[in-house]
Amino acid sequence: MDVFWEAPPVIRTLTALTLVQSALMYGGLVSLSWAPFIPRSIFSWRPEIYRLVTPFLLTKPNVSFLFDLYTMYYYGSAAEKSMAPGEFLIYLLFVAFGIMLTAGGYLGASILLSPLIMAFVYTYTQTNRGTKTRFWFIDIPVEFLPYAMLLVTMVSYGWHAVLAESMGIVVAHTYNFLTRIYPTFGGGRNFITVPSFLERYFTKHDPNSGYRGYGTARRAPRQAEQPSSASTSGSSWSSWTSSNTWNGRGAGRRLG
């Protein structure tokens, strides 16, 4: 349970809701008919608003139940930790809405968790570019991970499932372009910002996270007499240069 409570708040809540809904539906306690994304039911004279949420909270059955939960938790946690406080919630709403329009509305997919997980995976690969990851038994560049997962989906479920999952990549890339690539390299403005009240809320309720421009660092609680330099989240390079390696050598001597 410690691993669960140490996860960022949004993905922790999302994983718990997915676990509960999937367990209830596959256990026969709640009807599976409540889960699919059906636009005509959402926009009917008695709108079934819950269908805006339930399609994102149902895993595949059998062994995929555990695999989907783990994949969502792992890559979702990494994505949330790489963002500023509160940004992951805005990201989640943006991605979910885009998946509903593309995978759900255009392609007719009824369950939308797989495209959402693929969006998390893509965001993870973009914040870890240049590294390698283990996919089954081989090490591959992390940028290839979403496409390797799509290959497995094609073999297991066919082309329609691949197209639906790929919409998660498209929407996640759109968010990355609008919030990072275009403002940074194109000189444009980022219109998708985190409201100040939301940022304050997440900063207050997640005090052990320290956001930096290239990610979020988790800080362990300081000991009472621990020097302040020991709690710095810098790399070994910064600790080596700031330590007494040079400062303790005394005054220099001129040769010759």
Rounded Cα gap, residues 111 and 99, in angstroms: 11
pTM of the entire structure?
A: 0.79
181, part of any domain: yes
- Full residue range of the structural domain in which residue 133 is found: 55-205
DSSP 24: H
- Please count the other Cβ atoms lying within 10 Å of the Cβ belonging to residue 166: 20
Burial annotation 88-112 (CB, 10 A radius, 16+ → b, else e): bbbbbebbbebbbebbbeeeebebb
State whether residue 234 is helix, strand or coil.
coil
Decide: residue 178, CB within 10 A, 0-12 exposed, 13-18 middle, 19+ buried. Answer: middle
Rounded Cα gap, residues 50 and 33, in angstroms: 12
Distances (CA, A) of 216 to 27, 81, 140, 202: 38, 5, 24, 13
Strand partners, 210: 217
245, part of any domain: no
The number of domains in the chain is 1
pLDDT in tens, 130-153: 899 888 888 999 999 999 999 999
CB of 15 within 8 A of CB of 66?
no
The enclosing H or E element of 135 equals strand 132-135
217, part of any domain: no
Tens of each residue's pLDDT in the chain, 256 residues = 667 777 899 999 999 999 999 999 999 999 999 999 999 999 888 899 999 999 999 999 988 999 999 999 999 999 999 999 999 999 999 999 999 999 999 999 999 999 999 999 999 999 999 899 888 888 999 999 999 999 999 999 999 999 999 999 999 999 999 999 988 888 888 889 999 999 898 888 664 454 444 444 444 443 443 443 333 333 333 333 333 333 334 444 444 4
Rounded Cα gap, residues 7 and 79, in angstroms: 11
210, part of any domain: no
18, part of any domain: no
Rounded Cα gap, residues 226 and 58, in angstroms: 46
25, part of any domain: no
Rounded Cα gap, residues 135 and 75, in angstroms: 14
Strand partners, 211: 216
